[in-house]
A and B are shown apart, each in its own frame.
Chain A
């Protein structure tokens, strides 16, 4: 773990891999040092922003002293269920790429809960991890100019749901009517939370 300078109101913690990101973000959410306003996990880093006047040296010491156990089970919490119609335009291709076929992809995607790793792409969008490793597929070579809201996609080790229409290069395997984002309540998928996809019939 390496703490990098990020101005006088933030620290960027650089770690080895996503497992360590998730463990560090869990530890920081459970026991945030005083003055921390925002914890922003990403693929290999966790950004901490602090209130003006916060002693960054103290925050840095607190981060370095945290007990972080990569690979430990995530804290128990509610599992958000997202019903999905598995009829995405890339479902056949993902079935071929993975060798699982259409039904196999659906089975793998719904077979175990995913975990919210990080956001940042758009309000309410969450990069989900800890899914079935057989679903690891490359992004589309040609991104789509518009992906409809509610599209459920795969990219590398991640799955995700588009909260609103936007351009995107993920492999689309289905769609959901769930509201991922609302102005009143914010994001449905919260950092550190868990998600289970279920097939809508």
Chain B
């Protein structure tokens, strides 16, 4: 197999699992032209992995859904894993998450299936440096923008190492839980469009297998519309709990549509959207309504 650009630093993809994508922190500021922000589904995990290897927080890494990634180093690389704690090894020797891992040329880092959580992040010191699209290396699966999904045999260039040096070897971070997940949410903007918002917090929802980077679909209950039906399309946000006519809500994730005409009953607070992105199909989800961050005078 090729070793990438002549003399360049790179990692070669040997296995991809169900879905592996290059992601950074996305392309903000373009929504009005139909381009969503996209970016890592669990931004906190990507940021952590990048901090460990002393990359800028927004450097591009690899988002691995449900494990199964294997990459071979073509040079010396310092890497770190975060997010769903997929068992990992380097040439058969187990290595941990949330810590620095050093790869020598030719060594293979392999991820198994995470026991909990859904998405693992691999940061490589220097960042994955595929060509950016509109200022970002993120793949937007809904907008069909950015680098294509990873394929076996692909060689991913790695950027030059940053001047900063890694300061810590290990970060103490809890793994995503396997049990029920509670998400904080602010009621609105269209809470008045559902008949009884208390159903949202009173129901134990189950994440559907039809969930993806666009949204986490929930089953196990039903939020009825109050009156009318669709509303004129309006801007959507990451974390929006949108209620389609069938009543089973969808929590929008990284690649959500930019506008939509179904009412948004509540919006998950920003920090908890990262936790939502780690919920696996079949896992239970509850909502706890919290006050908006401002009040009417």
Contact = CB atoms under 8 A, between A and B. Distances in A.
Given A56-B294, A183-B145, A4 B33 contact: no
Contacts of B32: 25, 38-41, 118-120, 191
A46 to B, nearest CB: 8
Which among A14, A49, A56, A191 has the greatest number of chain B C-beta atoms within 10 A? A49
A8 B270 contact: yes
A120 B235 contact: yes
A57 B188 CA distance: 16
Interface of A is mostly: mixed
Interface string A77-119: 0000000000000000000000000000000000000000011
Interface of B is mostly: loop
A42 B34 contact: no
B64 interface: no
Interface stretch (B14-22, B23-31, B212-220, B278-286): B23-31
A59 to B, nearest CB: 9
Interface in A146-197: 163, 183, 186-187, 189-191
Given A8-B186, A183-B133, A47 B234 contact: yes
Contact of A187 (B35, B37, B259, B293): B35
A138 interface: no
Given A5-B186, A45-B235, A40 B31 contact: yes
A52 B235 contact: no
B293 A57 contact: yes
Nearest to B133: A183
Interface string B258-297: 1100001001111000000000000000000000111100
12 contacts: A4-B189, A5-B267, A6-B188, A7-B237, A8-B293, A42-B234, A43-B234, A49-B28, A57-B295, A120-B258, A186-B30, A186-B134
